[in-house]
Amino acid sequence: MSTDRRRFLKGLVGVGAGAAATGLSGCAPDLSPAPFVNAEKDASRRVVLNVSRYPDLSRPGGAITLRVKDEPQVLVTHPQGTQYVVLSSLCTHSGCPLGFEKNEAICPCHLSRFALDGTVTHPPARSPLRQFSSSYDSETDELTIDFAAGEEGFPSVVDGKIFFPFADFPQLQTAGGRVQGTPGGYGALIFVFALADGTYAAVDSICTHQQCPVEFRATEDDLFCDCHKSRFTKTGEVTAGPALATGNLKKFTATSDSTGVTVAIV
């Protein structure tokens, strides 16, 4: 890996990526992150791209890295024809920004690879990339990316709240029970936990260190960021790793009654 390219990666994602990109014989010398583009969103948190304006995206096999204020950075790919796929743009191994080659998202730092559905096809990454909702209109040549879209079958935000009926989520009636998913209107994965004392905790899934996703580990009963090994309790408090310097996970107020659990999204 060239010195200039190592500096480029370090500048993009900070010290962690710089360390990851140093002295590794497995680095791809000719692979760089997809070109960066800034865009604006509308009041519904949608971004509309006129594809023809972005040569790196308009060609089949191309991709761009899209930056939108207050939204996750995403890798917008054009595998073929009228197919477009939008994925999270940071490798889940060490947070390096991804490139795109031969219809796979590839990490220039350690050569992790991801399929178009976000699944890992080559280590060292273990956790999948998140896929974002998008649609392409061939008549207008416009690609719409919806950052607020939720997961099918998961409750959506209504008047700033998400309701989890016990009838649909019986696991929340038992201490240690957990629900996780992406609510419509919020657009990011959240965790809801039934705690041992009978109360509930609800937290966001984005590590405060470098915005990598955290995952729940049943054996350790904690939330873990695989990028840089930060750890959090089920109530969101950071207990280890570089996130000690950046703070706890985002927390939501969770209350319950005889019918279910309500999480206030603010």
Give how far the C-alpha of residue 19 lies from the chain's centroid of Cα atoms, to the nearest Å.
Answer: 22
Residue 184 and residue 103 share a domain: no
**CA–CA distance, 132 with 148 (Å, rounded to integer):** 9
**CA–CA distance, 105 with 135 (Å, rounded to integer):** 19
**CA–CA distance, 23 with 198 (Å, rounded to integer):** 50
The total of structural domains in the chain comes to 2
> pLDDT tens digits for 40-67?
999 999 999 999 999 999 999 999 999 9
**CA–CA distance, 171 with 194 (Å, rounded to integer):** 8
Of residues 212 and 169, more confidence is placed in: 169
> In angstroms, how far apart are the furthest CA atoms of the chain?
61
pLDDT for 230:
96
Helix or strand holding residue 74 (H, E):
strand 74-80
Site of tokens 């796929």: 85
**Residue 87 sits in which domain range?**
3-146
| pLDDT band at residue 127 under the 50/70/90 scheme | confident
| Any domain includes 184 | yes
**By C-alpha distance, which of 112, 48, 57, 54 is closest to 84?**
57
**By C-alpha distance, which of 69, 102, 100 is closest to 87?**
100
Residue 133 and residue 28 share a domain: yes
Q: Contact, 150 vs 187, CB < 8 A?
A: yes
Q: Contact, 193 vs 201, CB < 8 A?
A: yes
Q: Tell me, what CATH number does 240's domain have?
A: 2.102.10.10
| pLDDT band at residue 30 under the 50/70/90 scheme | low
> pLDDT tens digits for 245-261?
999 999 999 999 999 99
Q: What is the pTM of this model?
A: 0.80
Beta bridge partner(s), residue 76: 64, 86
pLDDT over 70 percentage in the chain: 89
| Any domain includes 11 | yes
